[in-house]
Structure 1
């Protein structure tokens, strides 16, 4: 009897150890143009119950930052664990593999180590990057319009030979979710989960909304009261560098958007409404995929990550879109929910540690026990396991203005210091210092103010650790065709 009891105990220990050592699945929701404005982040206007639920089951990071507030370089950085200044790519025109043939990416490493790799929707900006490294691949789709009036406009513009062809900046039709592309992305993700339920997988589900155009089914527009949206101040920060903000040409390319001047309040409110509707639309798709994960009994051994490629402006500073070094463009939502087969899930924890999107790849390699390449980022697994643990002293980002001017920026979580430099000589053209203790926005450049001299000196020293003045910026960007 004692022998039998001992045998049972040993067997239980072995099974438990085996479960603990089993590599988890990875599911990553990668959202385009999503700022840190969700219900779980304290927004009074966002309606995001499914994302909020995910936050209640994991660790929500209050101070997560991207390395550049533009799609292609940001996504390359996430998928390689390397910073834009290491890759030397700062624009959307250069595919990763046109320049870097040998850099090891996340899908390459996981594919090599027996994982099924899945790319759905917008993962890389360039669909050609690492296309062969995905076991299942659904390319990002073009935007679709379902409002008959907007479809007619698009058809007319196409006949007129309008290039680049862009329809209205928003669309709202009483249709099912799959009539727009993110609904189809959720459908493909569900099908992939059903197919791979017995395999180990790394799955990226790339949702395109709330990127322009703000196209979402009418029911998600109806969730929101447009009169609840306040028109943000159009004031620009006092003392801001002349090229710190853009003329938001990305929005101006859409039909019906004035080419000059600020938008009026009516159109501004409509676009803010459309942005929120698009976020709620994405939230519903997250809910569908998470429900499938539960239905297939996969949640217990799947780490789920919700993240964005950069932040976004919806009228703040009189500007739109991203393309800057401002806090509102570089700070992003990041939620990580651990699998329950391993250490006890950290439920509803919030971390104020500074982390960066470039940390994702080394974190997942660490989690899965994979020997990865050399990274610029670092594993934040210790913070996921202990959310009160301190992170890095600072996080950095950059944004170029053509070939001649580079903006580099650092934050300690409360202050943001930016230098605009000559890309070749590293001469400082202008500096900016903004306080962000209580807000994503700041309206006064405090650089040069004697009252904040110690703070500026501290941030400047941190910035120069990452961007030393004696080191030129690598330039691998290819000219726009």
Structure 2
């Protein structure tokens, strides 16, 4: 049995910490509460963006979306949302960026994801052993694994009528945030949110039971987190209601049960933390920092978040947060808070707010959330004002705090190369010259041995005197290479971007996952006899290459 820990991630979509273990008296979350009691709970974990795809791109790469070019939401659908002028492209990230799971795979981990990816790019097949798999699918039961489960029943759509309508949540006990009007429709929608969390809690319980059945509880670190918060004025906004994430980790024997940490952490730190606890070197270019394991850092001084184009709605907002204060910078303050977003407007709370806005009945914080223009800056004391209602930016008593956050935010933008300051069409033209998606070059095979010194490639293979070492190389900078020794060809990716979009949201039909490919990370020592290899290459944001196929016959040496 490996001494390296197994790791399970469970993400709750669109979910603020409305859990019992976070002190919510309405929540019914026995499995989350037990997990926190047996491990640790972080009170100040925050996402890098208040919507899923930019946030998830930071989680899978350990880097800020505004560095990657994944900060806009969506980038690869048009017909899916109708004709709204939404650009159709995949983000081409810097050449040194990888899905961090490739570092785990290179270290011997079996990596699975069920089912959503949604990173603003189609993840290379090399990112996962099985994109729709389970730890139980690993070929060797002693193989260490990293398995991700994305529970989507807390998605904002589950707050719409038709989902969890028959719940028995006591609406009179619900605390309505002050930025919402306190009406029956709002309370009914919040009750659906609690019912959805309770449902996901049961699914979490099923996964914990499977670990117990497999005898893996004591050797597996379990993480629970979210991609961003729910509800209008939460999702899509960098207030705490949009970026405050629950974070619970149970790691038997390594975390003291019942630990509560007030360290400031980012969900961008999740990947580097997994690398750290699994004994894998954390690449120095990552923005994320481990908060557990031998490479753990202390809490951050600041976390940062961004808001950009969301569907048909262009905006540019940046935020910084420290242990106490939240600073928000609006680069387009003349715009209203609630610009048109047709998907968001399906939400019953949003519809209720529009109804009251139109009739002139909104007042107080709900009216503030619907204001026709914004201040250039917002500053909140989150200890005294956890719902971020009283803007302190113009209060002279907080000038030092304001100036400190201004400077921190501007320095961060310089440090990470904030691409949100560039028009999206200019960025896309750099990523896809002429509006055409680049294609990854196919990998080449290079044979090294007593009689072969790598002076030329062997595209079709051949017969060689052993011993022989085989290198694979791709001339596209930043490409990953995957290969198999089985004779199962990769299917062509869907030509239609909307079909690819369905796949990244986890809508693949059963059996729709591509055949498994090994990650090429070191030269292969070919055994005597015949070896047939199929290999491909894929750089993030590019089209996958054609497969290179070759047969190598190695004759035993003298």
How does the TM-score come out when normalised to structure 1? Answer: 0.69
Given candidates 118, 127, 149, the residue that maps to 1:133 is 127
Given candidates 449, 463, 467, the residue that maps to 2:395 is 449
Q: Contact 2:167/2:191 (CA < 8 Å) preserved in 1? A: no
How far the C-alpha of 1:377 sits from its partner, in A, is: 1.1
Question: Which segment drifts farther, 450-459 or 125-134?
Answer: 125-134
Report the Cα distance in structure 1 between the residues aligned to 2:140 and 2:29, rounded to whole angstroms. 28
Structure 2 counterparts to residues 250-399 of structure 1, below 5 A: 265-313=183-231, 319=232, 322-340=235-253, 343=254, 345-373=255-283, 374-381=285-292, 390-399=298-307
137 and 355 in structure 1: CA distance in 2 versus 1, 3 angstrom threshold: same
How far the C-alpha of 1:228 sits from its partner, in A, is: 2.3
Report the Cα distance in structure 1 between the residues aligned to 2:294 and 2:73, rounded to whole angstroms. 32
The SS at the match of 2:59 is helix
How far the C-alpha of 1:468 sits from its partner, in A, is: 3.9
| Match of residue 92 from structure 1 | 73
The SS at the match of 1:137 is coil
Structure 2 counterparts to residues 73-152 of structure 1, below 5 A: 73-94=54-75, 98-100=91-93, 103-124=97-118, 128-138=122-132
How far the C-alpha of 1:384 sits from its partner, in A, is: 10
451 and 127 in structure 1: CA distance in 2 versus 1, 3 angstrom threshold: closer
Task: Summarize deviations over 1:39-82 as a string: whole Å, max 9, x none.
Answer: 11111111101011101111110000110111101001001001
Q: Contact 2:277/2:292 (CA < 8 Å) preserved in 1? A: yes
Report the Cα distance in structure 1 between the residues aligned to 2:165 and 2:106, rounded to whole angstroms. 41
How far the C-alpha of 1:376 sits from its partner, in A, is: 0.7
Report the Cα distance in structure 1 between the residues aligned to 2:120 and 2:327, rounded to whole angstroms. 31
| Match of residue 145 from structure 2 | 201
How far the C-alpha of 1:103 sits from its partner, in A, is: 2.0
Report the Cα distance in structure 1 between the residues aligned to 2:140 and 2:168, rounded to whole angstroms. 34
Report the Cα distance in structure 2 between the residues aligned to 1:224 and 1:307, rounded to whole angstroms. 23
Given candidates 436, 441, 458, the residue that maps to 2:404 is 458
Report the Cα distance in structure 2 between the residues aligned to 1:466 and 1:399, rounded to whole angstroms. 15
Given candidates 178, 197, 216, the residue that maps to 1:233 is 178
Report the Cα distance in structure 1 between the residues aligned to 2:413 and 2:65, rounded to whole angstroms. 12
Task: Summarize deviations over 1:230-252 as a string: whole Å, max 9, x none.
Answer: 444346xxxxxxxxxxxxxxxxx
Task: Summarize deviations over 1:313-335 as a string: whole Å, max 9, x none.
Answer: 3xxxxx35500111111111011
Given candidates 10, 16, 26, the residue that maps to 1:35 is 16
Report the Cα distance in structure 2 between the residues aligned to 1:405 and 1:349, rounded to whole angstroms. 39
| Number of residue pairs the alignment of both structures matches | 370
Task: Summarize deviations over 1:334-353 as a string: whole Å, max 9, x none.
Answer: 1111143xx4x321100001
Report the Cα distance in structure 2 between the residues aligned to 1:331 and 1:105, rounded to whole angstroms. 24
Q: Contact 2:164/2:192 (CA < 8 Å) preserved in 1? A: no
Q: Contact 1:189/1:289 (CA < 8 Å) preserved in 2? A: no
Q: Contact 1:63/1:354 (CA < 8 Å) preserved in 2? A: yes
| Match of residue 376 from structure 2 | 430
202 and 210 in structure 1: CA distance in 2 versus 1, 3 angstrom threshold: same
How does the TM-score come out when normalised to structure 2? Answer: 0.60
Q: Tell me, which stretches of 5 or more residues in structure 2 are unaligned?
A: 77-88, 334-373, 429-434, 436-496, 499-558
Report the Cα distance in structure 1 between the residues aligned to 2:417 and 2:57, rounded to whole angstroms. 22
Report the Cα distance in structure 2 between the residues aligned to 1:355 and 1:329, rounded to whole angstroms. 15
234 and 219 in structure 1: CA distance in 2 versus 1, 3 angstrom threshold: closer
CA RMSD of aligned residues (A): 3.4
443 and 320 in structure 1: CA distance in 2 versus 1, 3 angstrom threshold: closer
Q: Contact 1:24/1:339 (CA < 8 Å) preserved in 2? A: no
The SS at the match of 1:114 is coil
| Match of residue 65 from structure 1 | 46
How far the C-alpha of 1:217 sits from its partner, in A, is: 11
How far the C-alpha of 1:440 sits from its partner, in A, is: 3.4
Report the Cα distance in structure 1 between the residues aligned to 2:170 and 2:213, rounded to whole angstroms. 34
How far the C-alpha of 1:121 sits from its partner, in A, is: 2.5
Q: Tell me, which stretches of 5 or more residues in structure 1 are unaligned?
A: 1-17, 139-187, 236-261, 314-318
Structure 2 counterparts to residues 151-166 of structure 1, below 5 A: none
| Match of residue 317 from structure 2 | 407
Report the Cα distance in structure 2 between the residues aligned to 1:58 and 1:124, rounded to whole angstroms. 29
How far the C-alpha of 1:197 sits from its partner, in A, is: 4.0
Report the Cα distance in structure 2 between the residues aligned to 1:94 and 1:223, rounded to whole angstroms. 39
Report the Cα distance in structure 1 between the residues aligned to 2:200 and 2:387, rounded to whole angstroms. 25
Higher relative contact order (CA 8 A, sep 6+): 1
Question: Which segment drifts farther, 365-374 or 66-75?
Answer: 365-374
Q: Contact 1:80/1:104 (CA < 8 Å) preserved in 2? A: yes
Report the Cα distance in structure 2 between the residues aligned to 1:125 and 1:269, rounded to whole angstroms. 33
Report the Cα distance in structure 2 between the residues aligned to 1:466 and 1:457, rounded to whole angstroms. 14
